[in-house]
Amino acid sequence: MSTQQLFNIEQELNTFFEKKIPYYKQRYSGVGAPAAYIPELKNTNPDYLACALMFPDGQVILKGDYAVPFTLQSIAKVFIFMTACMHLGTSRVLEWVDVEPTGDPFNSILRFELNENKKPFNPMINAGAITVASLLPGTDSTEKIEKVKLLLSAILDKDVSINEKIFISEWETAYRNRALANFLMENHLLAADVEETLLTYTKLCSIEITAEDLAKIGLVLSIDGFDPIRRIEVIPSSIARFTKILMFTCGMYNYSGKFAAYVGIPGKSGVSGGILGTVPPSFRNHPILSDGCGIGIFSPAIDPCGNSVKGIKLLEDFLHSYSVQIF
């Protein structure tokens, strides 16, 4: 593709998001609300909407409120799972957690009561992620947290930090997660102490990032763990591919099936309003995304499933407008 063609595509994408972001801000104003069960998140401006795209050549498109930081929340599950697999091996981790979608809310305890072996259904719901967090390498929560932060820092090529205000707010109100953790311990599905595991999980959910960071993560995942900008592998390819499968089937809470059908790429959301999207390279000769890209979305007003209202609408519109799906 010529330099002029690349320039034209960049201009076209800039125009698309400059038009669509104000539209979705207005169209869905007042629809959904920031997560109320975490007091600090409740105070977030619900009108924020940001989008970031990152391409293998290093090109970045940033639109909307992209400079506003937010916390990973459930997107942290992706890195908890990959870190555990990198240290223990995927097969060992899957002895503790399954890979089946549930169709239930992300913090549901119902499946434990109905499932005879009590094994968490997948690592992308709270119960599964708490179990996997207990498997992280380290003698205490500090060491376990550091291992996940090291992976994130390796992907982003910069240090990451925990938003202490969000962490404290979440820690003080983590009643459902404490119930889940105690249920897991009762059923021998935690490899570490309940409080240590909850501390690890909650702090990792409180890591602060931006939409651009999510786009970089999505780009690395799209190329099976390889950073095309620095030309290095930061995630073993087998683990990156397996994680994308889990994101596609289980990454959007109990909206995962609809997201797969209507949006059509691997994604992972968090109740802070973030969406991590990854577009793998395509065999099709796509004029824009044939080499793959990473997508980061942020908009804190969420729906009853816990997903960003404006974010999903913007992402769906973009992917459909440019005929981008993995099938």
177 is in an annotated binding site: yes
Q: Classify strands 208-209 and 70-71 as parallel, antiparallel or unpaired.
A: antiparallel
170 is in an annotated binding site: yes
43 is in an annotated binding site: no
Tell me the residue length of the chain: 327
Tokens matching residue 145: 């947290």
31 is in an annotated binding site: no
| Residue 56 burial by Cβ neighbours in a 10 Å radius (0-12, 13-18, 19+) | middle
d(CA 31, CA 303): 8
Tokens matching residue 52: 């970031």
- SS3 per-residue string spanning the chain: CCHHHHHHHHHHHHHHHHHHHHHHHHHCCCCCECCCCCHHHHCCCCCCCEEEEECCCCCEEEEECCCCCEECHHHHHHHHHHHHHHHHCHHHHCCCCCCCCCCCCCCCCHHHHHCCCCCCCCCCCHHHHHHHHHCCCCCCHHHHHHHHHHHHHHHHCCCCCECHHHHHHHHCCCHHHHHHHHHHHHCCCCCCCHHHHHHHHHHHHCEEECHHHHHHHHHHHHCCCEECCCCEECCCHHHHHHHHHHHHHHCCHHHHHHHHHHCCCCEEECCCCEEEEEECCCCCCCCCCCCCEEEEEECCCECCCCCEHHHHHHHHHHHHHCCCCCC
| Residue 50 burial by Cβ neighbours in a 10 Å radius (0-12, 13-18, 19+) | buried
115 is in an annotated binding site: no
- Would you name the residues annotated as active-site residues? 74, 77, 201, 253, 271
126 is in an annotated binding site: yes
201 is in an annotated binding site: yes
Binding-site annotation, residues for substrate: 74, 126, 170, 177, 201, 253, 271
